[in-house]
């Protein structure tokens, strides 16, 4: 199956283009997607932004990123274990606040 | 006294005289300074049912107990008066450097009373205080006024002033300082205009006396160091307040076409990175702020090329952009510049324009009403033209200058259903149908449709919890969960304290409540525990509510526009959602200790907060 991935703000150039379409096995999770992004797209497991380090995925199903699937925050789904479906749109943000 | 001077100015505009008076030390501690202390003066001195634009209303500028002390972003001041927009408690807060410079004069604040027979400005040069004629300044915009006063008084004077917006009593006129900073909300620029007060110019040399300077400095330094590693700091610094725009939009909560939908297809043309790429020239910083989220910008393309200024902030982009369906960043930026120059609140301005556009779309406003102007959504030049017309009250601008609530009352024909205000104050750029708890905080905020009373958008919209409350995690954004109401109440109380001490609310994301209490105690010599400090925030929140109740506010006013309660969002992740208020309001009143029938803070609650005298008057 295919999902669309788009990264924002400090991560916006990390995928090499505005958005990418990633091929994943059926029932792949967000965690598996992140592993593919590291393996095939050269994204480091630990991102350095300024003096901060962000972990893409760590133990206990945790990530330092804000990840949404079709506009729903995975924290309100099943975290990194959230199962993806064909055509899903995954949005990846570094922590951000303001407004 | 430490941390503050214990003195304020009282200016009688009827007679053009100023005198200084002492602030009771107990009051300073009890209300924490800033908005809290100003609210106490408002309660005591402005009679019930006073005309907001009349002689009895008072306009109170007050710095906070930490304003001018060097801790993260502690340069802010508040302005408090009865609001012409809402008819209840009006408060606006601003950063920059003006508050710090005012406090250097040796005064913590100034109360203006009466109405001057002719335009004046207040000049404060340390102990020398003068009410000076401003007839020659009347009609000038903010940059012109600032330049003219500096020419007269000297370049070292810092100026807070109104532009033509305030002079012409535009209901949502702002008070501007440092050229591009605004005490924007609640129409307090119109109050200033009604008093014929053009500006306050200040220069001072009095140092602030800190109770324990060494410990304060050490503790403050620790907070700066802590923030060095904060992603919140870095993202705000890089992209400004519009850093949140994409997250809000992807969640389907970016109000578009006057809240007809929550998704703006062209969001990426106007988001934080677009601002950085297209117009940003430098970061603009407030006093002692490690973030520097302000945008120094220049329009480089299109018909507005060559104009420079400050902004746009997220809310300016949200209202002129999303709400008006304009995808032209340069036009949005120009509209924002003009609001700064004329002295207008960009939230209420853009929101009111969007309301007018929907009225035009539905035939409630016609070309005959507008003098031939086509008020269509998505027209970049229109938002720029309307700012001029509103500030000068020319043509259709005269009607739009009244704001959304009064316009809808005049126009009728069902327009009330999509008049997007609460208690008369236009709503900001977060669609609360996408997150239930946001709707509650819009309905209950003391100053009306406001997003930074509780600032619950951090945990609700952008996944950013606050360190100043014990718990702020939202489980399901679409569930109206009474157990999460405490988050709203706690945030309201704690963030109220920020408006009192003179610190930026963004710092509540990065620095804990305990650290803030420590900083306040070290600066002032007070002995607040964390619990007592929270109670002080709650005290001020209830005092402001008591003022609103006294002016006639009832529980029926704690609500939302019909569109948010009845019209489901038509698309996106929040498709089908409306705000479900009753279950949240029930718990809110219970937690607040407010009377369900009248909406007043109950006598027992006021007594618990040390406001027995307020209770006696409110319940007599």
**pLDDT tens, position by position, B281-290:** 999 999 999 9
Domains of chain A: 2-93 (3.10.20.30)
Q: What's the rounded mean pLDDT across residues B423-447?
A: 98
CATH fold of B233-419 reads 1.10.569
Burial of B385 (0-12, 13-18, 19+ CB in 10 A): middle
With H, G, I as helix, E, B as strand and everything else as coil, classify residue B50. coil
Token reading at B410: 């005049």
CATH 3.60.9.10 fits B7-203, yes or no: yes
Question: pLDDT-derived band of residue B255, with 50, 70 and 90 as boundaries?
Answer: very high
Predicted confidence at residue A99, as pLDDT, reads: 85
Band of pLDDT at residue B370, cut at 50, 70 and 90: very high
Instruction: State pLDDT tens for residues B476-519.
Output: 999 999 999 999 999 999 999 999 999 999 999 889 999 999 99
Q: What is the pLDDT of residues B84-135, one digit of tens each?
A: 999 999 999 999 999 999 999 999 999 999 999 999 999 999 989 999 999 9
What is the pLDDT at residue A15? 87
**Residue B306: pLDDT above 80?**
yes
* Average pLDDT of chain B to the nearest whole number: 97
Residue of B250, B293, B506 lying closest to A68 (CB–CB)? B250
Question: Is there a contact between A96 and B235 if contact means CB atoms under 8 Å apart?
Answer: yes
Residues A68, B244: C-beta atoms closer than 8 Å = no
Whether residue B239 and residue A96 make contact (CB cut-off 8 A), yes or no, is yes
Token duo for residue A52: 């901060």
Q: List chain B domain ranges.
A: 7-203, 233-419, 432-619
Structure tokens at B349: 């301005």
Mean pLDDT computed over B593-599: 98
Confidence at residue B470, expressed as pLDDT on a 0 to 100 scale: 85
Q: What is the pLDDT of residue B229?
A: 86
pLDDT at B450: 97
- The predicted pLDDT at position B436 comes to 97
At A25-48, the pLDDT tens digits run 999 999 999 999 999 998 999 988
Q: Minimal Cα–Cα distance from B247 to chain A, Å?
A: 8
Give the CA-trace dihedral at B379, B381, B383, B386, to 10 degrees: -120
pLDDT confidence bin for B463, thresholds 50/70/90: confident
Closest CA to B319 of B455, B166, B451: B451
d(CA B122, CA B137): 13
Residue A16 pLDDT level (bands cut at 50, 70, 90):
confident
How confident is the model over B348-360, as a mean pLDDT?
98
Q: How confident is the model at residue A98 (pLDDT cuts 50, 70, 90)?
A: confident
CB contacts of B244 in chain A (<8 Å) are 96-99
As its CATH architecture, domain B432-619 has Orthogonal Bundle (1.10)
CA distance B131 to B113: 13
Residues of B in contact with A49 (CB under 8 A): 231, 234
């Amino acid at each position: 199956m295919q999902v669309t991935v788009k990264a924002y703000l400090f991560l916006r150039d990390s995928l090499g283009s505005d958005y990418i379409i990633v091929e994943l096995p059926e029932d792949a999770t967000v965690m598996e997607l992140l592993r593919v992004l590291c393996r095939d797209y050269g994204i480091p497991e630990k991102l350095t932004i300024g003096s901060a380090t962000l972990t893409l995925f760590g133990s206990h199903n945790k990530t330092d990123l804000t990840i949404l699937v079709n506009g729903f925050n995975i924290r309100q789904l099943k975290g990194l274990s959230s199962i993806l479906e064909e055509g899903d749109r995954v949005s990846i943000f570094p922590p951000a606040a303001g407004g | 006294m430490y941390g503050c001077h214990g003195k304020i100015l009282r200016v009688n505009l009827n007679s053009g005289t100023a005198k200084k008076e002492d602030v009771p030390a107990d009051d300073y501690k009890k209300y924490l300074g800033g908005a809290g202390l100003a609210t106490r003066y408002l309660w005591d001195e402005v009679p019930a049912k006073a005309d907001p634009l009349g002689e009895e209303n008072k306009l109170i500028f007050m710095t906070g107990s930490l304003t001018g002390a060097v801790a993260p972003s502690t340069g802010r001041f508040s302005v408090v008066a009865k609001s012409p927009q809402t008819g209840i408690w009006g408060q606006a807060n601003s950063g920059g450097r003006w508050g710090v410079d005012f406090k250097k004069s040796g005064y913590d604040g100034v109360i203006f009373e009466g109405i001057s027979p002719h335009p004046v400005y207040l000049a404060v040069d340390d102990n020398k205080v003068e009410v000076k004629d401003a007839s020659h300044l009347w009609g000038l915009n903010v940059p012109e006024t600032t330049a003219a006063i500096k020419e007269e008084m000297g370049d070292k004077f810092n100026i807070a002033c109104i532009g033509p917006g305030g002079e012409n009593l535009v209901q949502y006129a702002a008070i501007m300082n440092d050229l591009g900073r605004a005490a924007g909300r609640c129409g307090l620029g119109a109050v200033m205009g009604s008093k014929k007060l053009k500006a306050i110019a200040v220069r001072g040399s009095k140092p602030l006396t800190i109770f324990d300077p060494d410990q304060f400095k050490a503790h403050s330094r620790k907070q700066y160091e802590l923030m060095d590693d904060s992603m919140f700091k870095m993202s705000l610094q890089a992209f400004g307040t519009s850093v949140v725009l994409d997250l809000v939009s992807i969640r389907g909560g970016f109000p578009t076409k006057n809240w007809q939908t929550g998704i703006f297809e062209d969001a990426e043309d106007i988001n934080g990175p677009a601002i950085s790429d297209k117009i940003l020239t430098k970061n603009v910083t407030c006093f002692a702020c490690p973030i520097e989220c302000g945008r120094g910008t220049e329009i480089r393309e299109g018909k507005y090329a060559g104009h420079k200024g400050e902004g746009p902030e997220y809310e300016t982009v949200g209202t002129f952009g999303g709400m008006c369906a304009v995808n032209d960043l340069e036009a949005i930026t120009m509209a924002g510049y003009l609001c700064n120059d004329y002295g207008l609140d960009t939230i209420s301005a853009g929101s009111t324009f969007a309301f007018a556009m929907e009225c035009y779309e539905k035939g409630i406003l016609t070309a005959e009403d507008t003098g031939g102007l086509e008020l269509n959504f998505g027209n970049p030049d229109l938002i720029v033209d309307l700012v001029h017309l509103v500030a000068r009250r020319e043509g259709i601008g005269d009607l739009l200058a009244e704001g959304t609530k009064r316009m809808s009352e005049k126009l009728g024909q069902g327009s009330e259903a999509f008049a997007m205000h609460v208690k008369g104050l236009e709503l900001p750029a977060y669609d609360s149908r996408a997150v239930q708890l946001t709707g509650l905080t819009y309905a209950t905020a003391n100053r009306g449709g406001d997003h930074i009373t509780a600032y619950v958008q951090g945990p609700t919209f952008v996944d950013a919890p606050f360190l100043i409350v014990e718990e702020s995690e939202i489980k399901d954004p679409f569930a109206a969960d009474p157990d999460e109401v405490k988050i709203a109440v706690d945030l309201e109380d704690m963030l109220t304290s920020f408006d009192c001490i003179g610190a930026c609310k963004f710092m509540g994301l990065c620095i804990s409540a305990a650290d803030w209490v420590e900083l306040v105690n070290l600066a002032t010599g007070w002995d607040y525990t964390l619990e007592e400090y929270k109670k002080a925030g709650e005290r001020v929140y209830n005092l402001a509510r008591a003022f609103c109740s006294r002016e006639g506010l009832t529980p029926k006013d704690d609500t939302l526009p019909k569109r948010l309660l009845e019209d489901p969002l038509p698309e996106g992740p929040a498709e089908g959602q409306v705000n479900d208020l009753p279950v949240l309001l029930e718990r809110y009143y219970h937690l607040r200790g407010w009377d369900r029938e009248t909406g007043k803070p109950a006598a027992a609650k006021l007594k618990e907060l040390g406001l027995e005298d307020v209770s006696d008057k409110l319940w007599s």
